[in-house]
A and B are shown apart, each in its own frame.
Chain A
Amino acid sequence: QKEVEQNSGPLSVPEGAIASLNCTYSDRGSQSFFWYRQYSGKSPELIMFIYSNGDKEDGRFTAQLNKASQYVSLLIRDSQPSDSATYLCAVILGNEKLTFGTGTRLTIIP
């Protein structure tokens, strides 16, 4: 089992709909969770981080963390074509190693 897993996609979502991206992790001792956005050919950009169970909202983005079930998700409301990118989930595991998933490619269809 990989330490951080994401569905590679591609995930296609109509413009204006909610895009839901999921990430699971194997280490129950993990404390910090991040979502990065990476446009094709560009560098990653941090869009959300979350430490506590529950939801964290920032504009159209909501991160949801469930430590009991060991998953973290990212919801993008009112999806725009500019949201089309690869989304990387990153976790600081219990051994303090920052580990990334391989990313989910999201396409917003106009």
Chain B
Amino acid sequence: DAGVIQSPRHEVTEMGQEVTLRCKPISGHDYLFWYRQTMMRGLELLIYFNNNVPIDDSGMPEDRFSAKMPNASFSTLKIQPSEPRDSAVYFCASSLGGLAADTQYFGPGTRLTVL
């Protein structure tokens, strides 16, 4: 298996622009997680899905962030409008089981820079 695939790997955009990050989980994994990592705040869980349904989005920082999972093999995290403080590495991860039930496999991340 190719592992969790994320695109783009790097994104540079200007404040106010819309940003869309993409993730393809490992085939057969029922759970998908979106994380954000910064030096100041560390790794934060933003939202996770089970069988394409959002289970917990309490980590989503504000209404500018939205995530969707239209099918079992694709998810997006959208930021609209983007702000410089959104600059971070965004990771997608997937697992067979839930938070405590199984190993999460992380993608390589998308490094987002908002100017």
Contact = CB atoms under 8 A, between A and B. Distances in A.
B113 interface: no
Nearest to B95: A46
Contacts of A101: 42
B107 A43 contact: yes
Interface string B9-47: 000000000000000000000000000000001111100
Nearest to A4: B42
* Max count, chain A CB within 10 A of own CB: residue among B56, B59, B104, B109: B104
Contacts of A46: 103-104
Contacts of B49: none
B60 to A, nearest CB: 13
A44 B92 CA distance: 11
A90 B108 CA distance: 19
A44 B99 contact: no
Contact of B109 (A31, A43, A90, A96): A43
Interface string B85-111: 000000100000001100110111100
Contacts of A97: 45, 56, 58-59
Given A88-B42, A88-B43, A102-B42, A32 B108 contact: no
Interface string A50-61: 010000000000
Given A43-B108, A44-B91, A46-B104, A92 B43 contact: no
Interface of B: 41-45, 56, 58-59, 91, 99-100, 103-104, 106-109
Interface of A: 31-32, 42-46, 49, 51, 88, 90, 92, 96-103
Closest 4 CB pairs of A and B: A43-B106, A102-B42, A32-B100, A100-B43
Given A32-B100, A43-B91, A92-B100, 6 more contacts: A31-B100, A32-B99, A42-B108, A51-B100, A100-B44, A100-B45
21 contacts: A31-B100, A43-B91, A43-B107, A43-B109, A44-B106, A45-B106, A46-B104, A88-B42, A88-B43, A90-B43, A92-B99, A96-B56, A96-B99, A97-B45, A98-B45, A99-B45, A100-B42, A100-B44, A100-B45, A101-B42, A102-B42
